[in-house]
Structure 1
């Protein structure tokens, strides 16, 4: 798991963004809304925007 402690405000905001993305239309979630939630989550953990791609490359 991640070693850093997240910013609780940004972490909560990220969760709310993701929940709202699914509540708006659970059958057709807008990828842009999910991406915004991911970006906020990365900020909450002080991770670079490229973290996901780097993690995939590491395997």
Structure 2
């Protein structure tokens, strides 16, 4: 089975449609997100963080 990845920044709004379409065509979907994670004060800057979830 082939695989295809979808990544997005701060949201995975197309994840459900992506997974459904990939599975319909025999492709293993993998999706990831790169959200900005805010630290508690006084470190209020956003910190990059990544996650990938194979389905």
TM bracket, shorter-chain basis: 0.3 to 0.5
> Normalising to structure 2: TM-score of the pair?
0.35
Q: Which has the higher contact order (CA 8 A, sep 6+)?
A: 1
TM-score, length-scaled by structure 1: 0.34
